[in-house]
Chains A and B, each alone.
Chain A
């Protein structure tokens, strides 16, 4: 449906599947409104039917483990060339996925299709408050142009407060 003067609107019905628990699915309906000119992120409204699995235990474990690390957590090439992610890095990987979803949303148009390809680098930034902070450089794969785009993002997380991307910027592709 095209909304005059604003842009094309799409109505979607989809099924969300929990990546960690494949048999856990939830129905979702969404309305996506793209803005002409593509200078603002598309508007998204959605409703979810059903419940998402509770992850408090795993969240708290990761939170406590990371908070108590003496040296800041660092990592690179997640997953590695062969597709492997070490168990300790799994939550860092999942967090990047969620955060990249925000970056992708903010930069999507009707003609783009982004996926997170890899975490190039991640470094924890120690904070005095209760949040965990990670500085990521991720690689986004854009389907139509087939380009691999490096992107920096600063991610804040807390088990009860959720994920926040406080800063993000597209990086130049190095020669």
Chain B
């Protein structure tokens, strides 16, 4: 369908246009009524696709000049509205990794991913959210007789950071699509297991889709249900409640009623605690800011292995920049960002996980949390 813009010059032209509209049942966008079409005034008509050519021919015949205002109405409609979501896909063939997906679809995606890659992928129960939704993580593990070290990555601890779960999904796809053909990835999997939690704060994520796009915390009720949400990244047991937090539920950085007061935090902490002697690296993905952050947020005292931590992070940042020129700053949270306590990254390091990083993905504030979908691919590619 197209929308044409016409400015009739003579009364004759007006008459012809009025006739055209009524006989072809064209959709008048401006003015609303055929009687209101006037010489010298803007006329916008939507012409259904099958009639476009003959309408244009008729206009040409009558020497009525027109401009195409909208070349494809459907395209514009699609762009501005959430698409119809189909309920099955063959994952990695039909799943669109360059679009943001609601939680329902991410649950389905996880099931499909395991089904289609059962030799490598197992879906595991992690726990339940405060609103009783199930948390799952994916384990990507190449069968072998040796115990392997683990790399843990979680996404979506903050609801509004949509690029983060998008990255986790992308990451899983990349690994699974290329582990046979890419020597780096296959070597990786020979020696390491990957544990990926695509959405940590499920309730919050759903809330950001349905009610408030810029919601950050979980959906835990406080004060008799008059206030909601703990900042899960202030809720871990690392100098909990000491700095960079609020004890007030109405704040975005409310640390909860105590360390690990939230079921989401507890679920993650329990698993990591159990497996900590095998976990080599803890990664938590956020946005925005373009940083690779090292411990700690609660103090400027450097961690014991800070040289090594920084070295690895700098290498990562350089590799990232090498892809599209996106620059990432590297350093401890307390030094380059702001002070905070109770973060998952700090906690992971304090219990003994040597490499613990927070990634803050694109961008630097231009779009902030509302990163357009056309940036999903480059962001994910460079972060890979």
Contacts and interface: CB of A to CB of B under 8 A. Distances in A.
Interface residues of A, number: 24
Contacts of B79: 84, 86
A117 B213 CA distance: 10
A147 interface: yes
A83 B372 contact: yes
Contacts, number: 63
Nearest to A19: B366
A84 B79 CA distance: 8
Contacts of B250: 173
For the complex, would chain A's binding face be called helix, strand, loop or mixed by DSSP majority?
A: loop
Contact of A84 (B289, B337, B372): B372
A82 B216 contact: no
B247 interface: no
Interface in B40-81: 76, 79-80
Contacts of A160: none
B370 A81 contact: yes
Contact of B80 (A86, A143, A145, A147): A86
B100 interface: yes
B29 interface: no
Contact of B252 (A81, A117, A147): A147
Interface in A1-39: 19
A82 B376 CA distance: 11
A85 B373 CA distance: 11
B253 interface: yes
A84 B76 CA distance: 12
B370 A79 contact: yes
A114 to B, nearest CB: 9
Interface string B96-130: 00011000000000000000000000000000000
B365 interface: yes
Contact of B253 (A77, A81, A118, A145): A145
A141 B338 contact: no
A116 B100 CA distance: 21
A94 B253 CA distance: 30
A118 B365 contact: no
A141 B371 CA distance: 14
Interface in A86-139: 86, 115-118, 139
B253 A146 contact: yes
Given A80-B80, A82-B100, A84-B80, A117 B369 contact: yes
Contacts of B373: 82-84
Nearest to A85: B372
A83 B366 CA distance: 11
A46 to B, nearest CB: 19
B262 interface: no
Nearest to A146: B252
Interface of B: 76, 79-80, 82, 99-100, 209, 213-214, 216, 226, 231, 246, 250-253, 289, 337-338, 365-373, 375
12 contacts: A77-B213, A79-B372, A83-B375, A85-B372, A117-B369, A117-B370, A139-B214, A141-B368, A143-B338, A145-B246, A147-B252, A173-B250
Given A82-B100, A118-B213, A143-B337, 17 more contacts: A79-B367, A80-B370, A81-B213, A82-B373, A83-B367, A83-B370, A83-B375, A84-B79, A84-B372, A86-B80, A116-B368, A117-B214, A139-B214, A141-B369, A143-B289, A146-B216, A146-B252
